[in-house]
Structure 1
Amino acid sequence: MTKLSVNINKIATLRNARGGNVPDLLKVAVDIQRFGGQGITIHPRPDERHIRYQDARDLKAVVTTEYNIEGNPQHNFIDLVLECKPDQVTLVPDAIGAITSSAGWDTIKNQEYLTEVIAEFQRNGIRTSIFVDPILEMIEGAKKTGTDRIELYTESFAHQYSLGNEKGIDPYTKAAVLANELGLGINAGHDLSLDNIKFFKENIPGLLEVSIGHALISEALYLGLDNTVNMYLNKLK
């Protein structure tokens, strides 16, 4: 079964909109795990507009499943991850001020830098994953960095699927086959939803984990958080 890690950035966004502590980020994390979620993901950004660095520290005490911290490995982020020691760190090349992630790493151009950062995290017992587009050369480049896993950036698939083009999965299937051959673990995330997750899962051999935030929290407004988490779990079986 593919694991479901729930990204709780949007809960932090809602909290920050009014100040105070409603909704309570830590309680939501605990509840998601109680409902069956198999991991908690956060993506702190330098401006702390949703997840704050202190949230990352506080969550360490309540995440009992898998704790995944995503972000661009700038100095402050690296220090935070080494302090919190999550189960997994996912390296994402998002620009400062970006609304959301928009591309995977150029693993060839950034090979030396990624190799150095990944080695540091691994020396501290943290599993590494890097955000990549479904491009075979980028998968091969990822292998050379020494990373444990890749996370396939799925925006293109989600967009094509919404248009009725199921062929949009083909580059992802090919990327997954190569990753399996190279011994890389496979995660995926970005714009995955209840509408497309089952099809994606069925066509990605060896898919270990999906990280879903925006869609899941949005769907939960109508369906309820407990129900939504379990709907995803059923589709991932």
Structure 2
Amino acid sequence: AILQGHEEFIRAEISDRVKRGRIEVFVQITSPDETTYNLELNRPLLEAYKRAFNEMNREFDTNEKIKPEFFLQLRDAIIEKTAEPDPDELKGALSKLLDKTLDSLELMRASEGSALANDLNKRLTLIKDYLDRIAQRAPSVVMEYREKLKNRIEAISEELEIDDARLAQEVALFAARCDITEEIVRAGSNLTLFHTYMEMDDAIGRRLDFLVQELNRELNTISSKASDSIISACAVEVKAELEKIREQVQNIE
């Protein structure tokens, strides 16, 4: 009840410095002097007991007097009144407390962020290495397909003359279907952009999350188009690293 009316102020103070995530705030207010008590008689309760006592005297024709210690034994006969703090003083105290708490939070997050950045950079380096392997492997896929197709034709009939033009046409069609050059270039660009975002002081969590999704899409396309076990294996490794990055990115503001 004391904090009623200050919720929006607290929310605004936090939102100004924390852009992403869930923050729960618990505020405990204590009296600066715990030896000072503000006690009051529970007059409605005591009046009710007094009327009941007088009625009992009339009922039994007695003239008993109520002793003060009788009231002290009654539950809730004396109540402690909590003095409401001055709203402006409370707001000022809350502001200072929030600043101090948020400063500590930022220091902690900066320390965690440094460790997280190191881990992300290691994983991004691994992904770059796998993409380089994929790029190096891609031309060999077409050449190997040409040799397999040629050997298959020769195996069917040793006397059948191979039409080089037709063979070249089939190889060209295969090369067009499995061409992953654009996907590799886009994936590399996304990695570069990922590093760029990580150097920014702005809130980048959502942007990094989006880049992870884009990288996953490129890797899915690479894996399906390449028709090569080595490239597919590299793509699987990249996706495994991306999943770990995705989990960590959720903790970035």
Which TM-score applies when normalising by structure 1? 0.20
Greater Rg by CA:
2
* Structure in which a larger fraction of residues adopt helix: 2
* Structure in which a larger fraction of residues adopt strand: 1
